[in-house]
Structure formats: structure tokens, C-alpha cells
A and B are shown apart, each in its own frame.
Chain A
């Protein structure tokens, strides 16, 4: 079984500044995906970014980037130029993949980090 740990229950940042959310995971699997999901007050789960374990290059999506350290089992999310709309709960999540990259769509989530962006 795998576990995902987010050790920061709450974080805050000023608008336009940069913030990094931490995530560590434990697994014996070699093929997997890692995700960051955003959950605003609307409760909707929104995918922020995805990283395939076999890729050494860190994923980026506009203002969002990750620092994926496979050996250390660490997967942090950096949000640059923070905006008020980034205020939300953020979840780190793990999905085991089969050798061909398929999976059963089963996610293991961390506890979440509440991010507040202040004007």
C-alpha cells in the first residue's frame, strides 16, 4: 500500500509572491503518477498538474510547477505569481500504474493543505 503525506495543514502567501506546498509519498512501486488537485470553496476537484514517475523532467503548467524527487519520494508544488483565485485546499495524490502506463484509476490522497492568498 502507498501513503501520501502533506505536512503543512495551512499556508498563506501574499498576492504576486511564490509559495511551495510540500508532499512526500511512500511506495514500493516503480510505475506511478503523481498529481496536485485544487479544491476551491465550491468543492469541485480540479486537476492542477500531473507527473509521470518515469519522466525525469518536472511538469509545468503556466504558473504551476513541481519539483519531483523520485529517490527522495518528494513531490512539491510551486505556485508563482500567486493570485486570489488560487485560494483553495490543495491535495497531493498518487496513482499506481501498470507496466503499460494503465491503471485502475485508484487515487491515494494526502491530507490536504489550505492555501490562502492575501491581497
Chain B
């Protein structure tokens, strides 16, 4: 199993550009989520999904869109990048049910918006 994969590893955008951060998992996990990590603030939940076709907002959803058309993929879209979205982004997944506490994290994407 590859686990949770994220692409790209690094990205530089100009203000106003759009892009999609990709996240995929091959463990047939029900739950997937996106976090951003900023210095001094830990990781904060952006959006999460409890299954294909079901998504919901986390703590800091503004400026980000998600959809989940398959169990495996959970892309994060930035429609109009802003410097405040400069961060490291992590995708995570877990089984549903009683093992949902066991989170598997991807390697992260470092995004810089100039």
C-alpha cells in the first residue's frame, strides 16, 4: 500500500491563481480530511469528508473548496490564491467506525503564495 499520497510536494503560486492540491489513499478509508499547518498555530482542520459525496467544513474553510467523488480521492481547490494561504497542507485519512481514531497522514504540500 502507498498509504496517503499528496501532490505536489512544493508549489509556488502568484496571488489570484488557482490550483488543486491532490490527495489520494489506497486503504479504502471512509474518512478523509485536510489540515493546514502554520507556525505557532499547530494544524487546523480545513474540510473533511465522511464518505464519497459527503463533505463538511472544518475550522478554517474560507478560500478552499473540496469535493469527494470517489472513496480514494479528496482534492483541495484554491480558487483565487492569497498570501494568507501560504502554509503546509496535510491530508489525512482513517477508517470509519471504531478505528476512526487512527489517522494516516500524507507527507504534506508546502505552498507559497507571492
Q: Is B53 an interface residue (CB 8 A)?
A: no
- Asked whether A105 lies within 8 Å of B88 as measured between CB atoms, the reply is no
Question: Given A43-B88, A111-B40, A111-B41, A105 and B101 touching (CB < 8 A)?
Answer: yes
Chain A hits for B100, CB < 8 A: 102-105
A98 to chain B, nearest CB (A): 9
The closest CB in chain A to the CB of B92 belongs to A105
Q: Is B45 an interface residue (CB 8 A)?
A: yes
Q: Which of B44, B58, B88, B101 contacts A95 (CB 8 A)?
A: B101
Considering only residues 87-103 of chain A, those with a C-beta below 8 Å from chain B are 91, 93, 95, 97, 100-103
- Asked whether A109 lies within 8 Å of B43 as measured between CB atoms, the reply is yes
- Asked whether A107 lies within 8 Å of B96 as measured between CB atoms, the reply is no
B99 to chain A, nearest CB (A): 9
- Asked whether A105 lies within 8 Å of B42 as measured between CB atoms, the reply is no
Q: Which of B93, B97, B103, B105 contacts A44 (CB 8 A)?
A: B105
Chain A contact patch, size range: 20 to 34
Q: Is A16 an interface residue (CB 8 A)?
A: no
Q: Is A106 an interface residue (CB 8 A)?
A: yes
Instruction: Kindly state the separation between the CA atoms of A77 and B43 in the bound complex, as whole angstroms.
Output: 19
- Asked whether B103 lies within 8 Å of A105 as measured between CB atoms, the reply is yes
- Asked whether A100 lies within 8 Å of B43 as measured between CB atoms, the reply is no
- Asked whether A109 lies within 8 Å of B42 as measured between CB atoms, the reply is yes
Considering only residues 13-38 of chain A, those with a C-beta below 8 Å from chain B are 33, 35
- Asked whether A104 lies within 8 Å of B31 as measured between CB atoms, the reply is yes
- Asked whether B48 lies within 8 Å of A105 as measured between CB atoms, the reply is yes
Chain A hits for B105, CB < 8 A: 44-45
Q: Is B50 an interface residue (CB 8 A)?
A: yes
8 A/B residue pairs, CB under 8 Å, sorted by A: A43-B88, A103-B100, A104-B100, A105-B94, A105-B101, A107-B43, A111-B40, A112-B40
